[in-house]
Chains A and B, each alone.
Chain A
Amino acid sequence: MFNKDRWTEIIEALNANKVRTFLTAFGVFWGITILVLLLALTNGLRAGVTADFGNFATNSMFMWGQRSSISYKGLPKGRRLEYKVSDIEAIKAEIPELKYVSPRNSLGGYNGANNVTRNTKTGAFQIYGDYPEFIKQKPMDILEGRFLSYSDINAKRKVCVIGPDVVKGLYDKDEEVMGSYIKINGVNFLVVGTFKITNSQGDTEEEANTVFIPFTTFNQAFNYGDRVGWMAITAEDKTSITQVKERVFDIVKSRHNIAPADQRAIGHRDIAEQFQRINGLFDILSIVGYFVGALILMSGIIGISNIMLIVVKERTKEIGVRRALGATPWAIKGQILQESLILTILSGMVGISFSALVIWIMNSILDAGGPVENFSNPSVSMQVVFVALTILVISGVLAGLIPANSATKMKPVDALRIE
């Protein structure tokens, strides 16, 4: 169908009125550009906002103890709920859908008192007692050495992994960090690794000021016994943490004599739920993007249809001549359809390329100017491009249908009579 002669015919016809061809194509070009840009901007917003979650495993929740609000089994309300190490084992044993249950404890805090010293240097840092799997819940780059390991946990080794600002605060430039000791609250810890948390917004400074030590060491060295400050719980990929969290609460409640109806004793932050809510919002934004883009594209397509009608009208006589020379109605229809299809696809391709250029420029400006709040990496997937192209092909044919039919509706004798 698309041999060279057809192409020549079509290109000749489109070339015959360049300005009009250009203006017609512009409608579709503009429509597809807006469609793609809208989707890219939605993606940019989505990427920007979800980056606020850091790159924390999103199927997770944090769970901490608060005060009970209902008296239960003869015990008063207002009791402080404090998790024990044994809770971890119980939760893991009863709910196999959980991937990681990490107990955590911490010392110090943002703008807290100085708690770490090395030789003459001191600093106030955030000290966390953690399990090795915490790095899987909150991915970080290990720059040197390693993260905590289970043998550290089992042997209660006094080792630590420190953040970039800790290094900056306690070491001179070019000083060897690995293998040196730092003193946390008077206890010496061997530095076995340094880390950096990338792709996090907002908490960068706090995270850079962090020291990780093994959970068991933490509890022993700082006299925490078997207390657990809070837990970071991640569910298996196929189960949502939102679905299993009530079961976790029930276990904790029964183990600590908390009334089953007590809503306040357990504090938690469900990252999956928050993440999903925000993702849902952006799904809707994407749909709006598609909808608005498609409507604008549609006006472009109607434009093509309109112009093709005029073209057919103007070329009535030419069509009559072609039919007198032996063109079948389908040869004529095919030509009009292909003209509209080619016009649509070509202008659509230009539109897609143009919007890709705009997205590229946006990205390079973002790269150069540093991160912008709630916006990063606007992009469209190939899938969107294919959807857009499919829409273009279908609409190109649709745009050509009415004009193609009207082109052959008139009898050749009448078409020839038109001046």
Chain B
Amino acid sequence: MIQIKDLHKSYHMGSNSLHVLKGINFNVKEGELVSIMGSSGSGKSTLLNILGMLDEADEGSYTLDNVPIKNLNEKIAARYRNEFLGFVFQSFNLINYKSALDNVALPLFYKGITRKERSEKAAHYLEKVGLAEWSHHLPSELSGGQKQRVAIARALASEPKVLLADEPTGALDTKTSYEVMDLIQGINDEGKTILVVTHEDDIAHMTKRIVNLKDGLIIDDSTVEQVRAQQYV
């Protein structure tokens, strides 16, 4: 599903140049649940941003679902993001003046889907994350865990190939974190490819494979025995 070869990325700040990714090679097959770990500054967020086409690599190749991702202009990048990817953020990033349902429907709006169909789909995914009753609430009326579920529903709504989650449990307490991980595991069980960036060991062990980053290089890439979050919920 994802092939990355020799990926480099550096940031320039004035005369200083910070080499963040120093040649990443990395493949993800369909249906995998991968966690990317590393201390802050290891380049894990940069990697995720490049995977999410929010940022571009300086060197190296990136293929997503057999489509080479290079020389994107913003218009094509926007379309690819809409078609291929679903994002889950640490701080949820829901639009605060839209109801849960409208938030979930937003990627469908940019996809150009009719209003009626949008509402139906959004309602379906809200139900899937267990928030059907909350569909007309504003984000401010939801708890952190609920917000993240709405965000996951939103990421799923456009039926992406890959779900990218950047510290999805970073702003949640342990119990809620496990609930969210349970949801993510459930989605993965249905066959969705998911990448999770985290620095929490227990969260990482709830995925099937852990990629460890340090100073812009992969130092360890191993499959692990998945811990089901269900048992903690």
- Residues of A bordering B, CB below 8 Å: 4-5, 9, 12-13, 15-16, 317-318, 320-331, 408, 411-413, 416, 419
Contacts and interface: CB of A to CB of B under 8 A. Distances in A.
A328 B78 contact: yes
A330 B97 CA distance: 22
Contacts of A320: 93
B154 interface: yes
B81 A325 contact: yes
B55 A329 contact: no
Most A CB contacts (10 A, CB to CB) among B49, B78, B93, B98 go to: B78
B97 A324 contact: no
A411 B72 CA distance: 13
Contact of A16 (B78, B97, B106): B97
Nearest to B93: A321
Nearest to A317: B93
A325 B87 contact: yes
Interface stretch (B28-36, B107-115, B209-217, B222-230): B107-115
A408 B74 CA distance: 9
Given A411-B55, A413-B54, A328 B97 contact: no
Contacts, number: 68
B43 interface: no
Contacts of B97: 12-13, 15-16
- Chain A at the B interface: SS class: helix
13 contacts: A12-B98, A321-B95, A322-B95, A324-B52, A324-B54, A325-B87, A325-B106, A326-B81, A328-B74, A328-B78, A331-B78, A413-B55, A416-B54
B89 interface: yes
B158 interface: yes
Contacts of B98: 12
Contacts of A15: 97
A411 B54 contact: yes
B42 interface: no
Interface string B111-136: 10001000000000000000000000
Interface in B47-70: 49, 52, 54-55
B75 interface: yes
A79 B79 CA distance: 97
A373 B115 CA distance: 61
Given A326-B78, A416-B89, 10 more contacts: A4-B115, A15-B97, A323-B78, A325-B87, A325-B158, A326-B82, A326-B83, A327-B110, A328-B74, A411-B54
Interface of B: 49, 52, 54-55, 74-75, 78-79, 81-83, 87, 89, 91, 93, 95-98, 106-107, 109-111, 115, 154, 158
Given A13-B97, A327-B78, A328-B75, A412 B106 contact: no
B110 A326 contact: yes
A153 B49 CA distance: 101
A366 B78 CA distance: 61
Given A5-B115, A330-B75, A318 B95 contact: yes
Contacts of A325: 81-82, 87, 106-107, 110, 154, 158
A20 to B, nearest CB: 13
Contact of B78 (A9, A329, A411): A329
B48 to A, nearest CB: 10
A326 B107 CA distance: 6
A88 B36 CA distance: 108
A242 to B, nearest CB: 64
A276 B81 CA distance: 68
B13 to A, nearest CB: 13
A326 B89 CA distance: 15
A335 to B, nearest CB: 11
B209 to A, nearest CB: 24
Contact of A328 (B49, B79, B89): B79
Contact of A326 (B79, B93, B95): B79
B158 A326 contact: yes
Nearest to A15: B97
A413 B91 CA distance: 14
B89 A5 contact: no
Contacts of A411: 54-55
B93 A416 contact: yes
A351 B206 CA distance: 61
B6 to A, nearest CB: 21
Contacts of A16: 96-97
A320 B83 CA distance: 17
Most B CB contacts (10 A, CB to CB) among A4, A5, A324, A329 go to: A324
B116 to A, nearest CB: 11
Contacts of A419: 91
A419 to B, nearest CB: 8
A374 B42 CA distance: 82
A362 to B, nearest CB: 42
Nearest to B94: A321
B81 A329 contact: no
A412 B54 contact: yes
Contacts of A408: 74
Contacts of A412: 54
Contacts of A12: 97-98
Contacts of B49: 413
B7 to A, nearest CB: 15
A58 B95 CA distance: 66
Nearest to A321: B93
Q: Which 5 A-B pairs have the closest CB atoms?
A: A326-B82, A413-B54, A326-B110, A16-B97, A328-B78
A419 B89 CA distance: 13
Nearest to A415: B54
A385 B89 CA distance: 50
A159 to B, nearest CB: 80
